[in-house]
Amino acid sequence: MALSDGAKERLSLVIELVKTVFHYGYIPAVVYLGFKQGAEPGMPEIALSKLLPAGQVWLATRSVLTKHFPVRMQSLRVVFRLLGAQPLAGAQCRAVKRWVSPTMRVIVLRKKALGPQPEQRRSQFLEWNEEVELRCFSKRLGEEFEGKALREAFVQPEWANVQEFQARQAGDTAFEPIAHNRELAENGAQIISQTIRGAYAPSYPSDVVEGIHSHLTSQEMLAHVGKHLGIKDLIKSLEYPPEERSLADTFRALVGALALSSPAGRVQRFVDDFLLCQMVGKDVYDIWAPAQPYEYMLRLLQAKGVEQVEPRLCNQSASNTILANFQVGLYDAKSKTCLGLGWGENIKTAKETAALDAIQRLHASD
């Protein structure tokens, strides 16, 4: 195939381009050879087919597609200027940019040089918007809070006092005291206690109800529930991350704030959904257990008219080894009915376990 002088000149430029690209390791991802009108359309295929092995590129009319490495845009502009064609607006590249790796190295080195940094409050970021965050929080819970009450529920008394002290030190006479959540937390604690006792009092005696109440209203439990509701970043406290005390007080204050904004039935369902549900999958008698089960059982039996209890050794195995096992049964001395069974590594432990079993049976019979 005969080529004109102009085509030969352009062909030599293409050959030099390919040599340079392979020498420096940059292979174009997409190169569109847009020749001026009158150039031979078969020229690019002829040049590249002689230089590249078969199967490494896909040749098409007036285009060359390769699949190895990205190309520098500056090189593409130079090539198009030499060929007298208009460059494309951009070249598609799915690989990681070359600046990413060195930039990440510098960032990591700077972080190591700074050393450990304290966790920053979410409210210190530029895009923080307290009004939007409070609105989104109430929507996530599916509850409608009164705006002022919800804002007060997240303010700790210590933080409010420090803000007032700093304003006085600065001579700010226009500063208004910030309302905090102490009163809301007290009201919320009363509502939580009433809800727990009302849920368990019909089914269990007062001792068991108080044990469940102590478990659910503990600072650790309330902080656990509050943290997973997403109140950590909304709390205004002196310390960050907030301590368990701050998390627990804020959850109580949320219940108190909801009581000001919603009817009593909705507040009770809120406590049921987020606090009482922590008892799912737990045995009540794993949470509550008397310090002296046998004496406690005797008091319950005396109230029912059972005056004397007869412990019996029912079974034993491997009594002279470290795997000893004893079974003790507790019987009514008068009616000879079984009150409870228990196992243990010794007779005393088995007797206490049998007393716990008898207590559960007595509570279930009530």
* Domain extents in the chain: 5-83, 133-284, 291-365
Rg of the chain on CA atoms, in Å: 39
pLDDT of residue 185: 93
For 209-218, what is the mean pLDDT?
A: 92
Q: Which of 3-7, 79-83, 323-327, 353-357 has the lowest mean pLDDT?
A: 79-83
Nearest to 90 by CA among 12, 159, 32: 32
- pLDDT at position 54 is 39
pLDDT at 234 over 80: yes
Confidence of residue 13 (pLDDT cuts 50, 70, 90): low
| Rounded CA separation 88/77 (Å) | 9
Confidence of residue 15 (pLDDT cuts 50, 70, 90): low
What does the pLDDT read at residue 10?
65
What's the CATH fold of domain 291-365?
Double Stranded RNA Binding Domain (3.30.160)
Q: What was the pLDDT predicted at 366?
A: 66
Looking at 1.10.1040.10, 2.60.40.420, 3.90.870.10, 1.10.1520.10, the CATH number of the domain 133-284 comes to: 1.10.1520.10
pLDDT digits (tens, 9 = 90+) for 266-309: 999 999 999 999 988 888 888 888 888 888 888 888 888 888 88
What is d(CA 350, CA 316) in angstroms, rounded to the nearest whole number?
11
Residue 32 pLDDT class (50, 70, 90 cuts): very low
Distance between CA 56 and CA 33 in Å, rounded? 18
> Using CA atoms, how far apart are residues 173 and 175, in angstroms rounded to an integer?
6
Please enumerate in sequence order all residues whose Cβ is within 8 A of that of 89, keeping only pairs 6 or more positions apart, or say none. none
Res 106: pLDDT? 95
Summarised one tens digit per residue, pLDDT across range 119-168 is: 888 888 888 898 899 999 999 988 888 878 899 999 999 988 888 888 88
